[in-house]
Amino acid sequence: MQKTVPLSQEECLFSYRWLHSAFAKELTSPQLQALQTGQFAPFFAILTELGFQAPVADLQNEIAKLTAYDTPQLELAADFAQCFLLEGKLSALPYASAYLDERDLEQNLLKMDQWLSKFQLKINRLQKEPSDHLCVYLEVLIKLIETEQPCAIQQQFIQQQLLSWLPQWAKKLAQIKSTTTFYQVLSQLLLDLLQQKISES
Protein backbone atom coordinates (compact mmCIF):
# COMPACT_ATOMS: atom_id res chain seq x y z
CA MET A 1 0.00 0.00 0.00
CA GLN A 2 1.36 3.40 -0.88
CA LYS A 3 1.76 6.20 1.62
CA THR A 4 -1.53 7.46 3.01
CA VAL A 5 -2.74 10.53 4.86
CA PRO A 6 -4.66 10.13 8.16
CA LEU A 7 -8.43 10.36 7.92
CA SER A 8 -10.31 12.92 9.98
CA GLN A 9 -12.55 11.71 12.79
CA GLU A 10 -15.62 12.20 10.60
CA GLU A 11 -14.03 10.27 7.72
CA CYS A 12 -13.04 7.44 10.05
CA LEU A 13 -16.54 7.21 11.47
CA PHE A 14 -18.17 7.22 8.05
CA SER A 15 -15.76 4.55 6.79
CA TYR A 16 -16.20 2.18 9.71
CA ARG A 17 -19.97 2.65 9.92
CA TRP A 18 -20.30 1.90 6.23
CA LEU A 19 -18.03 -1.16 6.43
CA HIS A 20 -19.92 -2.34 9.50
CA SER A 21 -23.21 -2.21 7.59
CA ALA A 22 -21.67 -3.99 4.60
CA PHE A 23 -20.32 -6.88 6.66
CA ALA A 24 -23.32 -7.16 9.01
CA LYS A 25 -25.77 -8.51 6.42
CA GLU A 26 -26.54 -8.63 2.72
CA LEU A 27 -26.75 -5.24 1.03
CA THR A 28 -30.25 -3.86 0.75
CA SER A 29 -31.60 -2.50 -2.53
CA PRO A 30 -31.14 1.15 -1.37
CA GLN A 31 -27.56 0.43 -0.27
CA LEU A 32 -26.68 -1.10 -3.62
CA GLN A 33 -28.45 1.68 -5.51
CA ALA A 34 -26.43 4.26 -3.58
CA LEU A 35 -23.21 2.59 -4.72
CA GLN A 36 -24.32 2.21 -8.32
CA THR A 37 -25.68 5.73 -8.76
CA GLY A 38 -22.52 7.45 -7.61
CA GLN A 39 -23.70 8.62 -4.20
CA PHE A 40 -20.43 7.35 -2.73
CA ALA A 41 -18.29 9.11 -5.36
CA PRO A 42 -17.29 12.00 -3.02
CA PHE A 43 -16.29 9.53 -0.30
CA PHE A 44 -14.29 7.42 -2.74
CA ALA A 45 -12.61 10.60 -4.04
CA ILE A 46 -11.54 11.51 -0.50
CA LEU A 47 -10.10 8.04 0.12
CA THR A 48 -8.25 8.22 -3.19
CA GLU A 49 -6.78 11.61 -2.31
CA LEU A 50 -5.66 10.24 1.06
CA GLY A 51 -3.70 7.44 -0.60
CA PHE A 52 -6.11 4.53 -0.82
CA GLN A 53 -6.13 4.49 -4.63
CA ALA A 54 -5.71 0.74 -5.11
CA PRO A 55 -8.55 -0.60 -2.91
CA VAL A 56 -10.88 2.19 -4.04
CA ALA A 57 -10.18 1.48 -7.71
CA ASP A 58 -10.76 -2.24 -7.12
CA LEU A 59 -14.02 -1.51 -5.35
CA GLN A 60 -15.24 0.81 -8.09
CA ASN A 61 -14.40 -1.85 -10.66
CA GLU A 62 -16.47 -4.39 -8.76
CA ILE A 63 -19.40 -1.99 -8.54
CA ALA A 64 -19.16 -1.33 -12.29
CA LYS A 65 -19.14 -5.07 -13.04
CA LEU A 66 -22.44 -5.50 -11.22
CA THR A 67 -24.25 -3.80 -14.11
CA ALA A 68 -23.67 -6.97 -16.14
CA TYR A 69 -26.06 -8.93 -13.91
CA ASP A 70 -29.84 -8.89 -14.21
CA THR A 71 -30.20 -9.20 -10.44
CA PRO A 72 -27.02 -7.75 -8.91
CA GLN A 73 -28.53 -7.63 -5.42
CA LEU A 74 -29.20 -11.38 -5.53
CA GLU A 75 -25.69 -12.04 -6.85
CA LEU A 76 -24.19 -10.10 -3.95
CA ALA A 77 -26.49 -11.85 -1.48
CA ALA A 78 -25.28 -15.21 -2.80
CA ASP A 79 -21.69 -14.02 -2.50
CA PHE A 80 -22.32 -12.86 1.06
CA ALA A 81 -23.57 -16.34 1.94
CA GLN A 82 -20.67 -17.99 0.13
CA CYS A 83 -18.11 -15.78 1.83
CA PHE A 84 -19.43 -15.68 5.38
CA LEU A 85 -22.32 -18.04 6.15
CA LEU A 86 -21.25 -21.55 5.19
CA GLU A 87 -19.25 -23.85 7.43
CA GLY A 88 -15.63 -23.05 8.21
CA LYS A 89 -13.96 -24.94 5.36
CA LEU A 90 -16.13 -23.30 2.71
CA SER A 91 -16.41 -19.72 4.02
CA ALA A 92 -14.20 -17.11 5.66
CA LEU A 93 -16.15 -16.88 8.89
CA PRO A 94 -15.96 -13.31 10.29
CA TYR A 95 -15.32 -14.47 13.86
CA ALA A 96 -12.14 -14.15 15.89
CA SER A 97 -12.72 -17.66 17.26
CA ALA A 98 -12.12 -19.10 13.78
CA TYR A 99 -8.54 -17.79 13.72
CA LEU A 100 -7.22 -17.40 17.29
CA ASP A 101 -6.11 -20.26 19.50
CA GLU A 102 -7.96 -20.84 22.75
CA ARG A 103 -5.61 -18.82 24.97
CA ASP A 104 -5.40 -15.81 22.64
CA LEU A 105 -9.14 -15.90 22.06
CA GLU A 106 -9.85 -15.91 25.79
CA GLN A 107 -7.66 -12.84 26.31
CA ASN A 108 -9.16 -11.14 23.28
CA LEU A 109 -12.75 -11.68 24.38
CA LEU A 110 -11.98 -10.68 27.97
CA LYS A 111 -10.83 -7.29 26.70
CA MET A 112 -13.82 -7.09 24.37
CA ASP A 113 -16.18 -7.73 27.28
CA GLN A 114 -14.57 -4.84 29.16
CA TRP A 115 -15.12 -2.47 26.25
CA LEU A 116 -18.67 -3.70 25.65
CA SER A 117 -19.44 -3.09 29.31
CA LYS A 118 -17.80 0.34 29.30
CA PHE A 119 -19.83 1.51 26.30
CA GLN A 120 -22.96 -0.40 27.39
CA LEU A 121 -23.10 -2.19 24.06
CA LYS A 122 -25.38 -5.21 24.09
CA ILE A 123 -24.95 -8.23 21.86
CA ASN A 124 -28.09 -9.19 19.93
CA ARG A 125 -28.92 -12.40 21.80
CA LEU A 126 -32.17 -12.88 19.89
CA GLN A 127 -30.21 -13.36 16.68
CA LYS A 128 -27.53 -15.31 18.57
CA GLU A 129 -24.90 -12.77 17.62
CA PRO A 130 -21.53 -13.91 19.05
CA SER A 131 -19.35 -11.29 20.73
CA ASP A 132 -16.42 -12.22 18.48
CA HIS A 133 -18.12 -11.21 15.21
CA LEU A 134 -16.24 -8.62 13.16
CA CYS A 135 -19.12 -6.16 13.39
CA VAL A 136 -19.02 -6.18 17.19
CA TYR A 137 -15.35 -5.18 17.03
CA LEU A 138 -16.23 -2.41 14.59
CA GLU A 139 -18.98 -1.19 16.93
CA VAL A 140 -16.43 -0.84 19.72
CA LEU A 141 -13.96 0.90 17.41
CA ILE A 142 -16.68 3.34 16.36
CA LYS A 143 -17.41 4.07 20.03
CA LEU A 144 -13.71 4.64 20.71
CA ILE A 145 -13.69 7.28 17.98
CA GLU A 146 -17.05 8.82 18.93
CA THR A 147 -15.99 9.25 22.55
CA GLU A 148 -12.65 10.69 21.43
CA GLN A 149 -10.50 8.14 23.21
CA PRO A 150 -6.76 8.90 22.83
CA CYS A 151 -5.23 7.81 19.54
CA ALA A 152 -2.97 5.38 21.41
CA ILE A 153 -6.02 3.62 22.88
CA GLN A 154 -7.61 3.31 19.44
CA GLN A 155 -4.37 1.99 17.98
CA GLN A 156 -3.96 -0.54 20.78
CA PHE A 157 -7.50 -1.80 20.22
CA ILE A 158 -6.91 -2.17 16.48
CA GLN A 159 -3.54 -3.87 16.94
CA GLN A 160 -4.54 -6.29 19.68
CA GLN A 161 -8.23 -6.94 19.10
CA LEU A 162 -8.52 -6.75 15.31
CA LEU A 163 -5.17 -7.18 13.58
CA SER A 164 -4.46 -10.26 15.68
CA TRP A 165 -6.82 -12.19 13.39
CA LEU A 166 -8.18 -10.01 10.57
CA PRO A 167 -5.23 -10.61 8.18
CA GLN A 168 -5.89 -14.37 8.40
CA TRP A 169 -9.57 -13.76 7.73
CA ALA A 170 -8.84 -11.56 4.71
CA LYS A 171 -6.37 -14.11 3.36
CA LYS A 172 -8.96 -16.88 3.60
CA LEU A 173 -11.63 -14.64 2.11
CA ALA A 174 -9.37 -13.97 -0.89
CA GLN A 175 -9.42 -17.71 -1.60
CA ILE A 176 -13.22 -17.97 -1.68
CA LYS A 177 -14.50 -18.53 -5.23
CA SER A 178 -17.52 -16.25 -5.28
CA THR A 179 -19.23 -14.77 -8.34
CA THR A 180 -17.86 -11.30 -7.59
CA THR A 181 -14.93 -10.23 -5.43
CA PHE A 182 -16.88 -7.38 -3.87
CA TYR A 183 -16.44 -8.62 -0.31
CA GLN A 184 -12.82 -9.58 -0.86
CA VAL A 185 -12.10 -6.02 -1.99
CA LEU A 186 -14.01 -4.59 0.99
CA SER A 187 -11.93 -6.68 3.38
CA GLN A 188 -8.73 -5.29 1.87
CA LEU A 189 -10.02 -1.74 2.21
CA LEU A 190 -10.83 -2.40 5.87
CA LEU A 191 -7.35 -3.80 6.48
CA ASP A 192 -5.72 -0.85 4.74
CA LEU A 193 -7.72 1.62 6.82
CA LEU A 194 -6.85 -0.15 10.06
CA GLN A 195 -3.17 -0.45 9.21
CA GLN A 196 -3.06 3.24 8.30
CA LYS A 197 -4.62 4.07 11.65
CA ILE A 198 -1.98 2.27 13.71
CA SER A 199 0.79 3.98 11.73
CA GLU A 200 -0.34 7.46 12.88
CA SER A 201 2.06 9.15 15.26
CATH of domain 9-198: 1.10.3480.10
Lowest mean pLDDT of 49-63, 113-127, 129-143, name the range: 113-127
Is the pLDDT at 89 greater than 80? The verdict is yes
pLDDT of residue 1: 46
Q: What integer is the mean pLDDT of 89-107?
A: 95
Sign (positive or negative) of CA dihedral 34, 181, 88, 116 = negative
pLDDT digits (tens, 9 = 90+) for 45-63: 999 999 999 999 999 999 9
pLDDT of residue 127: 47
pLDDT of residue 122: 77
* Predicted TM-score (pTM) of this structure: 0.93
pLDDT of residue 88: 83
pLDDT digits (tens, 9 = 90+) for 161-185: 999 999 999 999 999 999 999 999 9
* Confidence category of residue 121, pLDDT binned at 50, 70, 90: confident
Is the pLDDT at 110 greater than 50? The verdict is yes
**Which residues make Cβ contacts (< 8 Å) with residue 43, sequence separation at least 6?**
14, 15, 18
Q: What integer is the mean pLDDT of 64-85?
A: 96
Is the pLDDT at 123 greater than 90? The verdict is no
Which is nearest to 51 in space by CA: 2, 94, 12, 92? 2
Work out the burial of residue 59: count CB atoms within 10 Å of its CB; fewer than 13 is exposed, 13-18 middle, 19 or more buried.
buried
Q: How far apart are CA 92 and CA 6, in angstroms?
A: 29
Please report, for the chain, the start and end positions of each structural domain, with discontinuous segments joined by +.
9-198
DSSP output for the chain: -----PPPHHHHHHHHHHHHHHHHSPPPHHHHHHHHTTTTHHHHHHHHHTT-HHHHHHHHHHHHHGGGSSSHHHHHHHHHHHHHTS-TTTS---BGGGTS-HHHHHHHHHHHHHHHHHTT----GGGT--TTBHHHHHHHHHHHHHTT--HHHHHHHIIIIITTTHHHHHHHHHT---S--HHHHHHHHHHHHHHHHHT--
Query: What residues form DSSP beta bridges with 133?
Result: 95
* Confidence category of residue 129, pLDDT binned at 50, 70, 90: low
Query: What residues form DSSP beta bridges with 95?
Result: 133
Helix 9-24 × helix 41-49 angle, to 10°: 120
Phi and psi (nearest 5°) for 93? -60, 130
